[in-house]
Amino acid sequence: MNSREPISGAKRNPFLAGLLNPTQRAAAMLRLDADWALVAWGAAIGVIVAFLALGFILPIRWGEHALESALRGSRESAAVIIAVAPVLGAIGTVIVFAILPMRQRGHGVTQVMYAVQRTNSRIPPLLAVRQWLASTLTIVSGGSAGPEGPIVTIGATVGSNVARFMLRPSASNTSTLLGCGAAAGLSAVFAAPLTGIFFAVEVVLKDFSARTFAPIVVASVLAFATVQSVLGPVDSLFGPAAREIGPRLTGMTMGLTPFFIVLALLCAFGAVFFMRSFEIIERAFVILPVPRMMKPVIGAALLGMGGAAWVWMHPESPLPPFFGTGYWVARDQIEHAGLASPSFAYAGILMVWFVGKVFATGTTLGSGSAGGLFAPSLACGAMLGGAFAETLRAAGFQSTPSPELVLAGMGCMVAATTHAPLAGAMLVYELCHQESVILPVLLATVISTLACRAMHPFSVYTAGLAALGVRQGVVADLVALRKIAVRQVAQPPGVVILDSASGTALLELAEKHGAHDAVVIDSEGCYRGMITARELQSALLAREALAATVAADLMRTDIPVTTEDESMEIAFHKLSAKDIDAIAVIDEPTKRLLGILTRERLLQAYGGDLTSGK
C-alpha cells in the first residue's frame, strides 16, 4: 500500500539493482520513487494529448468559419442553410453512435467522472473516438455545444489507457493519469494551462494532494507548450477583445464590490435556471415515444427552426446568438461593453438571448447529441453580465464597470454550473490575460458557487452522476478510499456455511464464533447469500425451529457483493446502502467466494491510508 516504494523494486540494494534493466537501475541509483514515475508519465501524456487536441479543434474551427461564410448570401439561402445544417450534423452523429455503440453511462465529462467513481478510472478507448467524431459533427453544424467536454473525455481516455503500461498500475495511479489527460486537453484547446489544472483537481478528481497535483501540472503545462511550439505564439480566445478594453478596466475597489456581489447572485440564479432547464428538456426527450436514434435529429430540427426564424428577422446578422459555441457573442460583449448608449431595451434583448441559449443547449445535448457545456456557460455568463451592466447604466450608475461585469459574469456561470470557482476564475483570466480582473472575478465566482449550491446541490456534471446512482460525499474521505483496492484489505471469511447445512450446524457455528455475519456458499464454493448477525440472533431466540430449517432459508440475497478490483469507496457505498457490517468478496465471472470485507476493516484501512500521508 505504500505509494513511495522505489519504482525499480530494488529497495536501494545495489546488487539487486544490477540485475534490473537500465531504466530500473538508473531509477534505483537516483532514488526515484513512484511519484517521479507519475510525473514522467504525466509529461508524456501532456505531449500526446496536445497533438490530439490540435487534430480535434482545428477542424472544428474550420467548420465554424465555413458555416459563417455560407450564411453571407441571401436571406432565403441563409435561412435554408441554418435550418438544415443542424439536422445534417445530428444525422451524422446518429450514424457515428450506430457504428460505434457503447454502454457507457452518462455523457461527456460525466462519463469521465463516472469512470473515476465506479470503474477504477478505466475508460474504453472507443469512447474517445466516438466523442471526437460525434462532437465535431454537432459543433460544426451549429449545435449549441462546446469542445471542452469532448477534449476532456479524449484526454482522460488517453491517460486512463496509458496507465496500463506502467510498471505498477493501480487505481490511484490510473486516476491521476486520467486527470493529467483531462487537464492537458483543456490546456491545449483553450490555451489555458491553469484552467486545465484546476478543472482536473476541482471537478474531475476532487483531489488536491501533492502526489496528484504535480503530474497534472506537468501535463497541462507541457500540453500548452507543445501547442505553442507547433502553431507559434497562440493568442488567448478573447485576447484581442480584452486588449481593446484594457485601458478601460478600473480594477477592484470597495465601491465596486457590491456590483460584483449582486452579479454573482444573479449568475447563481441563472446557473440554476440553466441546469434545471437542461434537466427538464433531457427528461422530456427521454420519455418522448420515438426511437432513441431519432431524438438528436428532432432536437436539431427544433434548433434549426429557431435559427431560420432568427435569420428571417435579422438578415443583417444571420448567425443566431444561440448557435454553436457562442464565443462570438462573448467576444462582442467584452469588446463593446459600456460603449453604446445605455438602454433597458438592450438589457432585455440580452436576457432573451440568454434564455434562447439555454434552450438551444438543452435541445442539442439533452436530445442526445455530443458536446460540452463550458462554451454555452461562458456565452450565457457574458449575456447575463452584459445585461446587468446595461441595466445599471440605464438606471444612472455611470461608474458601472461594464467590461469587468461581463468577464465576471462569464466566470460566475462556469463556476456555478460546475461548482468549481477556481477553474471559473482562472478560465476568465487566461482567456483575456488582464491581471486587474482576477480579484473581482474570484470574489464573484466564490459567491456564485456558494449561492448556487444552496439552491441546487448538484453541478451540471454531478447531476448526471446522481441520476446514475452515484452520490459524492466528503471529498477528502472519498479520495482516500478511492486509492485503496478491496484486494488490499479483504480478509478470509470468519463463518462460512453450505446452503444445505442444517439449522443445528448454523447454531453451533454461531455459538463458536459469536453472532457474526455468516457467508452462505453452495457445494462448489460459489456465493449464495449472507446471514447477518441480526438473522443469527433471531435464530438463537427460536432454537426449537432450527431443526426444521437450513441455511438457505435464513440467508439474505439482497445484500450486495464486491470484487477485488473495486475501490474501497464503492465498497463503502454498498455497505452504507444496506446498513450492514460486512459484504462478501467474490470472483465476478465464477461467483466463487474469495473473502469478506467488514466495516471495521474498512475503517482500519482508511485510518492507515491517512497516517501514511498518501
Asked whether the predicted pLDDT for residue 234 surpasses 80, the reply is no
**Of 97-111, 276-290, 315-329, 471-485, which one has max mean pLDDT?**
276-290
Q: What are the tens digits of pLDDT across the range 407-423?
A: 899 999 999 999 999 99
Asked whether the predicted pLDDT for residue 51 surpasses 90, the reply is yes
Q: Is residue 220 part of a domain?
A: yes
pLDDT at 118: 76
What is the sign, positive or negative, of the torsion defined by CA atoms of 219, 223, 229, 232? Answer: negative
From 189-203, 287-301, 311-325, the region with the lowest mean pLDDT = 311-325
- Torsions phi, psi for 146 (to 5 deg): -120, 170
Of the residues 477, 493, 528, the one at which a domain ends: 477
Written as nine digits, the cell of 78 is 441563409
Looking at the structure, tell me whether residues 131 and 219 fall in a common domain: yes
Asked whether the predicted pLDDT for residue 181 surpasses 90, the reply is yes
| 128 vs 581, higher pLDDT | 128
Looking at the structure, tell me whether residues 336 and 310 fall in a common domain: yes
Q: What are the tens digits of pLDDT across the range 14-24?
A: 444 444 455 45
Q: Mean pLDDT across the stretch 516-532?
A: 82
The one-character DSSP state at 338 is: T
From 1-10, 81-90, 325-334, the region with the lowest mean pLDDT = 1-10
Looking at the structure, tell me whether residues 490 and 473 fall in a common domain: no
Q: Is residue 447 part of a domain?
A: yes
H-helix or E-strand containing 496?
Answer: strand 496-498
- pLDDT band at 245, cuts 50/70/90? low
Q: From residue 146, give the alpha-carbon distance in Å to each of 151, 400, 535.
A: 10, 31, 54
H-helix or E-strand containing 587?
Answer: strand 582-587
pLDDT at 358: 95
Interacting residues of 468 by C-beta distance below 8 A, sequence separation 6+: 105, 106, 110, 114
Question: 200: domain CATH number?
Answer: 1.10.3080.10
**DSSP for 517-570, written as a single string:** -EEEE-TTSBEEEEE-HHHHHHHHHTHHHHTT-BHHHH-BS-S--B-TTSBHHH
Average pLDDT, the chain: 81
pLDDT at 478: 56
- pLDDT band at 379, cuts 50/70/90? very high
Looking at the structure, tell me whether residues 232 and 102 fall in a common domain: yes
Cα gap 226→48, rounded to integer Å:
9
Looking at the structure, tell me whether residues 218 and 96 fall in a common domain: yes
State the residue range of the domain holding 575: 485-612
Q: Which residues pair with 520 in a beta bridge?
A: 497, 529
Q: Mean pLDDT across the stretch 380-384?
A: 94
Written as nine digits, the cell of 174 is 490510473
Looking at the structure, tell me whether residues 446 and 535 fall in a common domain: no
To the nearest whole percent, how much of the chain has pLDDT over 90? 35
- pLDDT band at 374, cuts 50/70/90? confident
pLDDT at 581: 76
Asked whether the predicted pLDDT for residue 448 surpasses 50, the reply is yes
**Of 83-92, 96-105, 495-504, 570-579, which one has max mean pLDDT?**
83-92
Residue type, 82: I
Looking at the structure, tell me whether residues 268 and 204 fall in a common domain: no
Looking at the structure, tell me whether residues 245 and 220 fall in a common domain: no
Cα gap 416→454, rounded to integer Å:
11
Asked whether the predicted pLDDT for residue 614 surpasses 60, the reply is no
pLDDT at 11: 42
Of the residues 447, 477, 507, the one at which a domain ends: 477
pLDDT at 241: 65
Q: What is the dihedral of CA 448, 361, 405, 318, to 10 degrees?
A: -170
Asked whether the predicted pLDDT for residue 465 surpasses 80, the reply is no
Residue type, 310: W
User: What is the pTM assigned to this prediction?
Assistant: 0.77
Cα gap 123→105, rounded to integer Å:
11
| 412 vs 613, higher pLDDT | 412
Interacting residues of 164 by C-beta distance below 8 A, sequence separation 6+: none
Q: What are the tens digits of pLDDT across the range 247-288?
A: 566 666 676 788 899 999 999 999 999 999 999 999 999 999
CB atoms near residue 577 (< 10 Å): 11
Looking at the structure, tell me whether residues 441 and 502 fall in a common domain: no
Give the number of residues written for the chain: 614
pLDDT at 292: 87
